[in-house]
Amino acid sequence: MEHAYSLGLQLKGNFWKRDKDVLALAFGQIFPSTDYKKANNFKAKSEDHLEIYYSFKVNDYLMISPDFQVIWDPYGGDAANGDRAILVGGVRAQLDF
């Protein structure tokens, strides 16, 4: 990888009276090295991603975070099915004890 960056914003749930909750948005780009691009037929300039998630506190021990991501030009614009963008959804759980 030649270089990469990401940036994000978080909004605490104080605005909607759930002060332990978090709404977050992030964006980032990966720029592969010239050698990697040549060796792997990487067609795009970069691989980009956008992510949004909401983390809500269920109780003193459990947090649940539904997550949604969009990835543009996965595998350098050469995804197995030919898509220029893929959508990824998931759920993360955090157990504190």
* Helix residue ranges per DSSP H, 1-97: 34-40
- Distance between CA atoms of residues 54 and 30, nearest Å: 24
pLDDT tens-digit readout, 61-71: 999 999 999 99
Q: Where are the domains of the chain?
A: 3-95
Please write the tens of the pLDDT for every residue from 3-53: 999 999 999 999 999 999 999 999 999 998 888 888 877 777 889 999 999
Q: Is the pTM of this model over 0.85?
A: no
Q: How far is CA 73 from CA 8, 30, 57, in A?
A: 20, 10, 34
Distance CA 7, CA 51 (A): 10
Instruction: Report the C-alpha gap between 78 and 76 in whole angstroms.
Output: 5
